Chain A
């Protein structure tokens, strides 16, 4: 079993739709959680950190469920520019950072 698992997709949604991704992690000692965005042939960039209480940044909402060991990302009112791969990132002790393989999102006009 992979330490961090994501549905690879692709998710194909129309503009304006709401889409949600989940990510599960296996290490219950994991300390911090992030969502990164990666455009085609580009480097990953931080989208948002995920806090225990959940957090929102504009159209993006991230949630953490420690009991079930998953994090989620909700995108409301999808834009064409949201098309990308979304990486779930989990950090446990020290520098041990595990990246999910990513979920691909295509937003169509």
Chain B
């Protein structure tokens, strides 16, 4: 079974803090994603990575950056957390990206910024 893990289930930070969210997958998937999920809006793509050190902006990259130094690990960084970044953050991975492939999600990190 594919396993995607995230460093924290719940996180509380203060405005202006730098926040690191980590994601690790154990299935040697090339492609990894960071989404945020908010009520009524569905999942929105922040960034994705198709290879080590490669990244692409998603639909809502502002205020975020990412790092992929190793194939299995994809980190999301909030440079200066703000209250509007309070959300559920979900990491996902997928193998080749063929149309029929499905994404596997981590358990999510519920971040609250005070």
Binding site for B on A (CB under 8 A): 4, 8, 31-32, 34, 41-46, 49, 87, 91, 94-95, 97, 99-102
Contacts and interface: CB of A to CB of B under 8 A. Distances in A.
A22 B58 CA distance: 26
A4 B42 CA distance: 10
A31 B99 CA distance: 7
Size category, B interface: 20 to 34
Nearest to A32: B99
Contacts of A41: 108, 110
A45 B90 CA distance: 12
Contact of B102 (A8, A34, A95, A102): A34
Nearest to A102: B42
A32 B100 contact: yes
A39 to B, nearest CB: 11
B42 A101 contact: yes
Nearest to B44: A99
B105 interface: yes
